[in-house]
Amino acid sequence: MKMTIMYLLDDRSTFRIHGEDTFEFLQSVITADITPLKENKAVASCLLSAQGRIMYDFLLYPEQNTELSYIVDCHNSEKQELIKKISLYKLRSNVNIDDKIKLKVAVSSSKENDFIIDPRHKDMPLRYLIEKDNKNLFNDKDGLYLNNRLKLCVSEGPEEIPRNEALPLDFWMDKTSHVSFNKGCFIGQEVTARIFHRNKIRRRLIVIKLNSMDFDKCQLPKNFKYISKVGNYLFLLAPTEFLKEFENKVSKPQIELLDKKNNFYYYS
């Protein structure tokens, strides 16, 4: 029998959020419609500032056979900040947080029991919540998950999405299911909905893989915005006009800029 290899995402942490008011509380605060949790599906979402800027991005998973209890999968550097912010918003709601759980996040291309489909893109690896001593668990030393994710232009975490600065739609979050425009109000909803419905998305994220880390921001064409470099990847916001001519013409999400192939979000 073939062994299923799982790769530990050591930059991810988990905590539990539960209680009889949990569903209604989250639905009114975060950007995604969390109804899929009732169907035993994962949800990708954000917590925005009142000005519509991203403070945190994360995934939510329903706990098996337990209603009104969910696991939050977030960047490990932001776990305590996110818990503190949620605790501030919940006021007297019957919502409780357990940050002592020992579940780790792993990914694999193979289906085992209790696999989780990543809702951000159909080609993302499957996710798992596991104990760290799982015998099939390996460290992702070659960055396989990072390479796979960034080929799809799916960004996550504070290095790739500037906190309290980034607009969710600039980072394709209307496509990755992070943001719902049908469920009603959430924090930052007014700004986000206005940009979307008035078609005011000016720029979108593209990701460029560099063979060399030498990069001069002055090389960028007008109206491009530098975001960050992560590993061998360069993150830029490109004008939507630059992308429009490619969106309906290519079978792969690759275009040319600075003599490099780069990726934008493409869901065929």
Q: Tell me: the pLDDT tens digits for 8-45?
A: 999 999 999 999 999 999 999 999 999 999 999 999 99
> Residue 35: which of 163, 173, 161, 180 has the closest Cα?
180
Output the average pLDDT for the chain: 88
Judge if 11 and 119 occupy the same domain. yes
How do residues 75-112 score in pLDDT, each as one tens digit? Answer: 999 999 999 999 999 988 999 999 999 899 999 998 98
Judge if 122 and 251 occupy the same domain. no
Identity (one letter) of the amino acid at 193?
A
Q: What pLDDT is stored for residue 223 in this prediction?
A: 87
Residue 187 lies in a domain: no
Tell me the three state secondary structure of residue 57.
strand
Structure token digits, residue 127: 């996710």
Which of 151, 186, 212 is a domain's end point? Answer: 151
Judge if 210 and 128 occupy the same domain. no
Residue 20 lies in a domain: yes
Report the CATH number at residue 94.
Answer: 3.30.70.1400
Judge if 138 and 218 occupy the same domain. no
Q: What pLDDT is stored for residue 267 in this prediction?
A: 44
Judge if 217 and 138 occupy the same domain. no
Judge if 25 and 108 occupy the same domain. yes
Structure token digits, residue 114: 């209790």
Q: What pLDDT is stored for residue 112 in this prediction?
A: 84
Residue 13 lies in a domain: yes
| Cα–Cα distance measured from residue 41 to residue 117, given in angstroms and rounded to the nearest whole number | 7
pLDDT band at 131 (very low <50, low <70, confident <90, very high): confident
Structure token digits, residue 119: 């809702």
Q: What pLDDT is stored for residue 19 in this prediction?
A: 95
Judge if 19 and 129 occupy the same domain. yes
**22-35 burial by CB neighbour count: b if 16+ within 10 A, else e?**
bbebbbebbbbbbe
Judge if 139 and 245 occupy the same domain. no
- Report whether pLDDT(259) > 60: no
Sheet with strand 126-130: strands edge to edge: 126-130, 104-108, 6-8, 137-139
Judge if 103 and 233 occupy the same domain. no
Find the helix or strand (DSSP H, E) in which 73 lies: strand 69-75
Q: How many residues does the chain have?
A: 268
pLDDT band at 220 (very low <50, low <70, confident <90, very high): confident
| Cα–Cα distance measured from residue 115 to residue 129, given in angstroms and rounded to the nearest whole number | 8
Other C-beta atoms within 10 Å of 199: how many?
7
Q: DSSP strand E in 76-216: where?
A: 96-98, 104-108, 126-130, 137-139, 203-209
Q: How many domains does the chain have?
A: 2
Find the helix or strand (DSSP H, E) in which 44 lies: strand 43-48
For the segment 112-141, the average pLDDT, to the nearest whole number, is 87
Which of 118, 151, 184 is a domain's end point? Answer: 151
Q: What pLDDT is stored for residue 68 in this prediction?
A: 87
Structural domain of 240: 202-268
Helices 79-90 and 22-29: angle between axes, nearest 10 degrees: 100
- Report whether pLDDT(268) > 50: no
How far the first Cα of the chain sits from its last, in Å, is 33
Place of tokens 């998973």: 61
Judge if 146 and 217 occupy the same domain. no
Tell me the three state secondary structure of residue 189.
helix
Q: What pLDDT is stored for residue 54 in this prediction?
A: 98
CA neighbours within 13 Å on the CB side: how many for 146? 20
* Contact in structure between 235 and 229 (CB atoms under 8 Å): yes
For the segment 232-257, the average pLDDT, to the nearest whole number, is 71
Dihedral Cα 124, 129, 11, 138, nearest 10 deg: -80
Judge if 55 and 114 occupy the same domain. yes
Judge if 20 and 141 occupy the same domain. yes
Identity (one letter) of the amino acid at 103?
L
Place of tokens 């690896």: 125
How do residues 173-217 score in pLDDT, each as one tens digit? Answer: 999 999 999 998 999 999 999 999 999 999 999 888 876 556 666
| Cα–Cα distance measured from residue 22 to residue 27, given in angstroms and rounded to the nearest whole number | 8
